[in-house]
Amino acid sequence: MCSSSWKTMAVALLLIELWFTIESSLAHPDKIVKLPGQPPRLSFQQFSGYVTVDYKKHKALFYYFVEAETDPASKPLVLWLNGGPGCSSLGVGAFSENGPFRPNGEFLVKNDYSWNREANMLYLETPIGVGFSYSTNTSSYEAVDDEITARDNLVFLQNWYNKFPNYRHRDLYITGESYAGHYIPQLAKLMVEFNKKQNLFNLKGIALGNPVLEFATDFNSRAEYFWSHGLISDSTYNMFTSVCNYSRYVSEYYRDSVSPSCSKVMSQVSRETSKFVDKYDVTLDVCISSVLSQSMAINPQQVSERVDVCVEDKIVNYLNRKDVQKALHARLVGVRLWTVCSNILDYQLLNLEMPTISIVGSLIKSGIPVLVYR
Ligand SMILES: *[C@@H]1O[C@H](CO)[C@@H](O)[C@H](O)[C@H]1NC(C)=O
Ligand SMILES: *[C@@H]1O[C@H](CO)[C@@H](O)[C@H](O)[C@H]1NC(C)=O
């Protein structure tokens, strides 16, 4: 080869190198290159990281965003929120319910029913103190309430749009479950108000799974549910509906003043339901790690459950791995471990008693469809 073609080749190599440098610096800073143990060759992109919602108080919320499996540009944006208050949408929603993967030992197993088959899914750990979300000033964890949470969630989405401008006017749905029956209607209400000044949120609908909308109604379904599933006796059911119902118990509990009659009823109810029944699905086993691994050792073929009842343990292990946190661009600030539900957040739990059903009504009146599923 003559010297001029060497030169051409050297220049070409230089250009290629330069291209890769530009390309990688152009890649979104929150893009997840690869989650440890994930299946090879994914058809969709994943992103995660922080969005600051309050610079003065150093409050940052952590999100995990998975684009739709096919043609994300034509699919809506869906924000998912778990409840608690204080539980993680990353751990519960994304990694055990409707996200693309479930942790299993070292690996992430594909979820065939992932909602990112149909939508671009955004999972938000909110409020601060939940999961990887934090404030560097720990006094911000005190007296967090529905109002603060709704405002922070609104600011989160506004600022998230700056990171992902392509999604700014995308059809938006907000979904979630349980205490998100408080978060979602209140966030949607702020969006509707915000849109009157500046049209930003293209909110197309909200869907609420098993939500808390009206405290007394929702909590008192418990007695009927336990009784009709054979978990409590007729006489206990009678006490649980006349002597002390569940909403009264919860109300007393959060005021630190459980009456002797409620205390008596509740201990009878817990004795009969026991810790060996999953209250969310009475047909499932419960996860008792040592018992399960013992029975697995004795009789492996018997433990072939459709639902992995120990998924929560696996999520806690997975999300506490340093390599996983690095891949997610996540940090633990002020806590030693990632937990499913926060133990540093001091939420105003009496907010539970404020009904949000009327907000749902006004959202429907303003033209936003609402789906409530149980
Ligand atoms: C933390 O927040 C509290 C309440 O807002 C404030 O009084 C305090 O000065 C803050 N501390 C720091 C170190 O910023
Ligand atoms: C539950 O108890 C409260 C307080 O005693 C009472 O006001 C309410 O009507 C009860 N609800 C039901 C469904 O029994």
- The string of pLDDT tens digits covering residues 70-98 is 999 999 999 999 999 999 999 999 999 99
For residue 25, pLDDT over 60 is answered with: no
8 within domain boundaries: no
Mean pLDDT of the chain: 91
| Distance from Cα 349 to the centre of ligand 2, integer Å | 19
24 within domain boundaries: no
- Final residue belonging to a domain, choices 274, 301, 317: 317
Region 327-356 average pLDDT: 95
Atom of ligand 1 nearest to the CA of 140: 2
Which bound ligand lies closest to the C-alpha atom of 136?
A: 1
Tell whether ligand 1 has an atom less than 6 A from the beta carbon of residue 139.
yes
Instruction: Judge if 180 and 168 occupy the same domain.
Output: yes
Nearest residue (CA) to ligand 2, atom 7: 248
The domain tally of the chain equals: 2
**Choice from 55, 128, 139, 140 to test ligand 1 binding pocket (greatest atom count within 8 A of CB):** 139
Cα-based distances in Å from 181 to 158, 201, 285: 21, 20, 27
Report the share of the chain in percent with pLDDT over 90: 81
Residue 278, φ and ψ in degrees, nearest 5: -75, 115
Specify the pLDDT at position 20: 56
Region 3-9 average pLDDT: 70
Rounded CA-CA distance 124/102 in Å is: 17
For residue 69, pLDDT over 90 is answered with: yes
Report the share of the chain in percent with pLDDT over 70: 90
Instruction: Judge if 223 and 277 occupy the same domain.
Output: yes
Find the domain containing 152 and state its range: 46-215+342-373
**Choice from 217, 219, 220 to test ligand 2 binding pocket (greatest atom count within 8 A of CB):** 220
Instruction: Judge if 168 and 266 occupy the same domain.
Output: no
Specify the pLDDT at position 1: 47
Tell whether ligand 1 has an atom less than 6 A from the beta carbon of residue 137.
yes
Nearest residue (CA) to ligand 2, atom 5: 248
| Distance from Cα 76 to the centre of ligand 1, integer Å | 39
Atom of ligand 2 nearest to the CA of 242: 14
Tell whether ligand 2 has an atom less than 6 A from the beta carbon of residue 245.
yes
Tell whether ligand 1 has an atom less than 6 A from the beta carbon of residue 55.
no
Instruction: Judge if 204 and 157 occupy the same domain.
Output: yes
Tell me the chain's radius of gyration from C-alpha atoms. 24
Nearest to 285 by CA among 276, 274, 294: 276
Q: How does pLDDT run across 269-316, given as a tens digit for each residue?
A: 999 998 888 888 888 888 876 555 555 545 444 444 567 788 888 999
Specify the pLDDT at position 280: 81
| Distance from Cα 57 to the centre of ligand 1, integer Å | 7
Cα-based distances in Å from 79 to 14, 148, 157: 43, 18, 9
Nearest to 150 by CA among 117, 181, 114: 181
Instruction: Judge if 227 and 362 occupy the same domain.
Output: no
The lowest-confidence range among 1-10, 112-121, 263-272, 289-298 is 289-298
Instruction: Judge if 192 and 55 occupy the same domain.
Output: yes
Region 43-62 average pLDDT: 96
pLDDT band at 356 (very low <50, low <70, confident <90, very high): very high
The lowest-confidence range among 24-28, 88-92, 228-232, 326-330 is 24-28
Instruction: Judge if 116 and 166 occupy the same domain.
Output: yes
Instruction: Judge if 86 and 190 occupy the same domain.
Output: yes
Instruction: Judge if 76 and 109 occupy the same domain.
Output: yes
Rounded CA-CA distance 136/154 in Å is: 20
